[in-house]
Amino acid sequence: MIKDLPENNVTDIAVAVALEGENVQSKIFHVYLINQKNEPIENVLITSKGYGEKDGEQVKTSTLRHMFPQVDARAFKQVELIDEQTFGLANEYWVSYYIGNQIYDKKFIFLPESIVDANFIRLPIVNKPGVMIG
């Protein structure tokens, strides 16, 4: 039965963590969904959670859910604020969306310690410094 499902490959969709600003005590980061397609995506559902080991103990964050009716072509949506303290965990974003009547989904995982200045690029469309998984 599973072999009968269409293989809808996710392309030109990315999740990014962008540096918004900083002060003496901390940096402010937001997570963005970036649609690099030349067509809009609809009924976008994103679940986010963090998990891993911190100070020798297993840690899990709350699971958050976000919904956007539409993300326009070559546009982005701000998903959530992300705390620097979670950068030592795996941060998972599961994105599902429709194009027409076809559903697409993909899991994007920022591995522990991957959100660091050395990995920053200029994010497409968002035009801010950050780390992107596409």
Instruction: Report how far apart, in Å, the C-alpha atoms of 100 and of each of 37, 39, 67, 104 are.
Output: 14, 10, 17, 11
Task: Provide the residue ranges of all domains of the chain, joining segments of one domain with +.
Answer: 2-115
- CA 49/CA 92 separation, integer angstroms: 5
pLDDT of residue 51: 97
23 — pLDDT class (breaks 50, 70, 90): confident
Proportion of the chain above pLDDT 90, given as a percent: 84
- CA 106/CA 99 separation, integer angstroms: 14
What Rg do the C-alpha atoms of the chain give, in angstroms? 16
Class of 2-115 per CATH?
A: mainly beta
Mean pLDDT, residues 38-45: 98
